[in-house]
Amino acid sequence: MSPRRPPGPATPGDDAADRDRARLRLIERDILARAPEHQLLPTLDRIRAVTELLGSPQRDFAAIHVTGTNGKTSTVRMIESLLRHLGLTTGRFTSPHLHDIRERIGIRGAPIEVGAFLAAYDEILPAVAMVDEGAAVHGRPRVTYFELLVALAYAAFADAPVDVAVIEVGMGGSWDATNVVDGQVCVITPIGLDHQNYLGDTLTDIATEKAGILKAGARSVSGVQDIEVVEVLLDRAEQVGHRLVFEGHEFGVLTRQDAVGGQVVTLRGLGGDYSDVFLPLHGAHQGHNAAVAVAAVELFLAGDAEGPQDPGGPARLDPDVVRAAFAAVTSPGRLEAVRRSPTVFVDAAHNPSGARALAAALADSFAFTRTVGLLGILADKDARGIMEALEPVLDLVVVSASSSPRSMPVRRMAGLASEVFGADRVRAVELLPDAIEVAAALADEAGPGSAVVATGSITTAAEVRLLLGAHQDVGDAGAASSGQVFE
């Protein structure tokens, strides 16, 4: 392969920039034509073959690898902000995107520039084509949508170059395409039931798959887990010979208080305490994500020895840097206010555990006169579980559907919602733009202090966000997420 070279981005607004953007859309359509990321072909063979042909770009930078069921994206964004504010050049890989495919690949805290995306695509395409051709000869599937994006991200990070990349697992862990990277620190956010058709029907099965990112020579950080998950993670950590630290034991949230625009927390890390930290995100779960992020960065910056009292142990971070880093954190689509009067929130909760975290945040942090839920759920999800989690905090519910072909039919969802909420609390509206207006009107009827919460799937959150014009801060969006999403 030819040597990597830094891309030269076009000047915004000129003809070259317009051509690049047009080409980006064509490339995105080509990538979308591959096997979608919610239909997995579990193996590392294809991504491993691609990265080997590229010279293993994932070995050109340090990495923090993050898995779990909920909270992964927010935790990744917090870790990346901490590392960047500590002076490191950072990469960030998350999935899915809300509006623009470039959101998945962040460099220095911003979506990858169009020129850099195109350069990385051109770099990996010959390797992808070779693997595709080999697969065709043997009657095997070609490189998937997600695998291609992982290879592109790793090439882009090596090209930048970044000092460290924070990488979110797509699904599972052991056979997830991101797992060709070896993280210096591995992070496990809380594990719950989701993607059972791929990961298994029990927490033990799911935890076993996710524990596959824990490797020899790394350090590991876990959020609060159920006891059966703890046992699986400890067994895996023992097998690979490293220490695993848990929130609630070695580190955690000491205090938390709601504040305008978010919350103020005091965090106990592995290397010290950090007080008066403003986090511009709502919900106790985000405070827990922040504690995990701090512990992960402390371990990443540590020496070989362990223990807070050892000079080579977990690092003590500069408290002022910690405060600045968390104050700058954003997590689009996570209990995010996208409109006022009435207030409209979007939240990407798409499984019962995510819905329970959302319900707790609404109950603990707000006192709305009326809360109207706008629900759009995918047909392959536990819709009843999501609804039952939200029932105590929603006064009325409007059910609708996003543009995803996986969306649950509105009539079916309305019947289920009537069973959970009672028919008198449910409205059914086929088109999402109309559903937003109906939900807003129902909230307005209650006067000031009412709110709408649009949730149930990532695509629903993305499309409501786009329809209400809140998409500009995560990239140059042209359309909402296509439905090619891990949810």
In this predicted model, what pLDDT tens digit does every residue of 70-87 receive, in sequence order? 899 999 999 999 999 999
For every residue of 225-282, DSSP letters joined together read --HHHHHHHHHHHHHHT--EEEBTTTBEEEEEEEETTEEEEEEE-SS-EEEEEEESS-
Domain with CATH 3.90.190.20 in the chain: 336-474
**Whole-number Å distance between alpha carbons of 128 and 27:** 14
Q: Note the pLDDT of residue 309.
A: 38
**Whole-number Å distance between alpha carbons of 243 and 308:** 14
Terminal-residue alpha carbon distance, the chain: 35
Q: In the 8-state DSSP scheme, what is residue 333?
A: T
Cross-strand partners of 427 = 398
Q: Note the pLDDT of residue 101.
A: 93
Domain with CATH 3.40.1190.10 in the chain: 15-327
Rounded to 5 degrees, what angle do the CA atoms 171, 177, 178 make?
85
Token representation of residue 254: 């000491």
Q: Determine contact, residues 152/47, Cβ cutoff 8 Å.
A: no
User: Which element (helix H / strand E) includes 211?
Assistant: none
Q: What CATH code is assigned to 15-327?
A: 3.40.1190.10
Single-letter amino acid, residue 314: P
In CATH terms, the superfamily for domain 336-474 is: Mur ligase, C-terminal domain (3.90.190.20)
Radius of gyration of the chain measured on its C-alpha atoms: 22
The pLDDT tens digits for 210-240 are: 999 999 988 999 999 999 999 999 999 999 9
Q: Determine contact, residues 260/307, Cβ cutoff 8 Å.
A: no
Q: Note the pLDDT of residue 35.
A: 75
**Whole-number Å distance between alpha carbons of 454 and 441:** 14
**Whole-number Å distance between alpha carbons of 281 and 278:** 9
| pTM for the model | 0.89
For every residue of 78-126, DSSP letters joined together read HHHHHHHHTT--EEEE-S--SS-GGGGEEETTEEPPHHHHHHHHHHHHH
CB atoms within 10 A of CB 163: 15
Intervals of the chain under pLDDT 50: 1-6, 195, 304-311, 475-483
Token representation of residue 478: 């042209």
Token representation of residue 413: 């969802």
Q: Note the pLDDT of residue 94.
A: 96
C-alpha pair distances (Å), 300 with each of 83, 308, 417, 443:
10, 13, 45, 46
**Whole-number Å distance between alpha carbons of 172 and 89:** 28
